[in-house]
């Protein structure tokens, strides 16, 4: 059948394009360092359940958190029906005029009925709440949606993504309504349950008859799967890429205290060797790295890159940053977006020529300034607040390491502190022998005479 062949070509093209996008990302990941081994699977699964599935971080904001969580949970439910549409199209049953054979997962019985009922309810819930999000964003009443890093393109991208979701839900609702009307016109029993659409399908004009209802059903089906194919290929280039990346990013986030900072292993081994001459000397493979810290994106880790792809641009990190709130240039969201934008700019050259590729620009200097990285207090409020467990501070610290160790361009206060540590064994500018001079004039009564 021509329609079946056309669908196979469309789904093949859509999945091929999506695979190409993910392969580009994978090739970028292969260029980057491994920040830590993926262990503690049980801990990571619990973190995934709490942060990603239960949405515990976002639920700390009662109204917005509840709305966002409902949209997320709704997408999980709606996905069941979308998968069935792909199967219907791939197997060709949807193009068969036989009413009884166009729902391939109907054999699941009660589970199918439950999932279709949940999908129907959440289609309306998602539609209502995404409209709320769109109006809220258009009203420009949320301060954290603004910032020097937020371009017009980013605001347009957010609106496009929300409009995509609106039309996805409209097409799904249209499909459910027309399917029920078609079943009613034929005197058939529909498969599954549709609590809300079952109350509303009567709004479709009876004069359309079975053929009209079936045409609307197929039009809605084609519109929905077409939007799914278009949206999933748009996502890798959108702020809404977190639809794909949020779950893996939360699972791959570092475990343990969020304020624990990584060490540079090559430096650590040199220090241990100085403290213990009997310790084995570093091998040639463990010698000094090509670069201390991070000057450009290829000096980062795969987790830095995945963080940048996962960013939702919600601005919660910047809204709680004490440096930003006191008027300094630092915006944790800008750090993450700059990393992604720089990688997008440089990735073709890196993949073609390797990590040594130089286009005359760098993340530090051309994107992120010295003032930004030294404004950070390393309080990790941004990391704590991020709903998808992005680690902003790790990028900032690696940029600092580069500036300090390779360019010797730390602020004068830090240079003075390090000089004092070297000379006096403390951050203060006086001899250790004078450290308790402040207590000379104190009078402490003798215990026997008190």
Which tens digits make up the pLDDT trace of 271-292? 777 788 777 776 665 556 678 8
Question: What pLDDT does 285 receive?
Answer: 59
Residue 340 CA to residue 305 CA, distance in Å, equals 7
Residue 245 CA to residue 390 CA, distance in Å, equals 11
Question: What pLDDT does 396 receive?
Answer: 97
Q: At what angle do helices 209-234 and 2-31 cross, to 10 degrees?
A: 20
Please answer whether residues 331 and 149 qualify as being in contact, where contact means their C-beta atoms are separated by less than 8 angstroms: yes
Nearest to 368 by CA among 266, 310, 300, 313: 300
Residue 88 CA to residue 188 CA, distance in Å, equals 19
Q: Residues 395, 334, 297, 410: is their CA dihedral positive or negative?
A: negative
SS3 90: helix
Question: What pLDDT does 415 receive?
Answer: 87
Max CA separation in the chain (angstroms): 108
pLDDT in tens, 406-427: 998 888 888 898 888 888 888 8
Residue 220 CA to residue 215 CA, distance in Å, equals 9
The whole-number mean pLDDT for each consecutive block of 10 residues of the chain, a chain of 450 residues, reads: 91 96 95 91 96 92 91 94 93 79 84 96 97 88 89 92 96 96 92 94 93 94 97 94 95 92 78 77 64 92 96 94 95 97 96 92 95 95 95 96 90 88 85 82 66
Question: What pLDDT does 101 receive?
Answer: 64
Residue 359's φ and ψ, nearest 5 degrees, are -105, 15
Measured from the Cβ of residue 229, the count of other Cβ atoms closer than 10 Å reads 18
């Amino acid at each position: 059948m021509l329609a079946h062949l056309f669908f196979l070509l469309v789904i093949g093209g859509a999945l091929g394009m999506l695979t190409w996008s993910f392969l580009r990302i994978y090739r970028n990941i292969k260029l980057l360092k491994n920040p830590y081994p993926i262990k503690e699977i049980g801990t990571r699964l619990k973190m995934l359940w709490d942060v990603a599935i239960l949405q515990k971080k976002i639920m700390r904001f009662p109204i917005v958190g509840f709305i966002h969580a409902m949209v997320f949970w709704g997408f999980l439910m709606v996905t069941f029906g979308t998968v069935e549409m792909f199967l219907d199209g791939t197997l060709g049953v949807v193009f068969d005029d036989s009413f009884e054979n166009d729902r391939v997962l109907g054999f699941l019985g009660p589970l199918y009925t439950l999932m279709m009922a949940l999908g129907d309810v959440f289609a309306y819930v998602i539609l209502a709440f995404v409209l709320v999000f769109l109006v809220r964003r258009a009203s420009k009443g949320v301060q954290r949606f603004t910032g020097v890093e937020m371009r017009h393109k980013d605001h347009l991208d957010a609106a496009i993504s929300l409009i995509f979701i609106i039309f996805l839900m409209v097409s799904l609702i249209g499909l459910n309504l027309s399917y029920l009307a078609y079943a009613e016109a034929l005197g058939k029993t529909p498969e599954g349950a549709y609590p809300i659409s079952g109350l509303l399908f009567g709004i479709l004009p009876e004069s359309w008859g079975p053929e009209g209802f079936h045409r609307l059903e197929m039009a809605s089906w084609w519109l929905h799967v077409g939007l799914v194919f278009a949206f999933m290929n748009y996502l890798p280039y959108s702020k809404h890429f977190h639809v794909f990346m949020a779950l893996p990013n939360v699972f791959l986030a570092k475990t343990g205290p969020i304020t624990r900072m990584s060490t540079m292993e090559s430096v650590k081994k040199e220090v241990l060797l100085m403290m213990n001459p009997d310790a084995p000397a570093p091998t040639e493979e463990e010698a000094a790295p090509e670069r201390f810290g991070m000057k450009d994106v290829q000096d980062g880790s795969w987790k830095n890159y995945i963080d940048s792809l996962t960013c939702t641009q919600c601005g919660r990190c910047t809204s709680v940053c004490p440096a930003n709130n006191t008027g300094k240039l630092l915006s944790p969201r800008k750090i993450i977006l700059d990393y992604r934008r720089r990688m997008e700019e440089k990735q073709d050259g890196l993949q073609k020529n390797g990590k040594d590729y130089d286009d005359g620009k760098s993340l530090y200097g051309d994107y992120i300034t010295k003032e930004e990285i030294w404004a950070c207090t390393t309080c990790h409020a941004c990391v704590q607040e991020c709903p998808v467990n992005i680690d902003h501070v790790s990028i900032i610290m690696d940029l600092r390491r580069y500036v300090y160790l390779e360019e010797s361009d730390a602020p004068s206060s830090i240079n003075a502190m390090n000089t004092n540590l070297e000379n006096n064994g403390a951050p203060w500018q006086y001899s250790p022998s004078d450290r308790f001079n402040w207590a000379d004039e104190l009078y402490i009564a003798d215990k026997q005479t008190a």
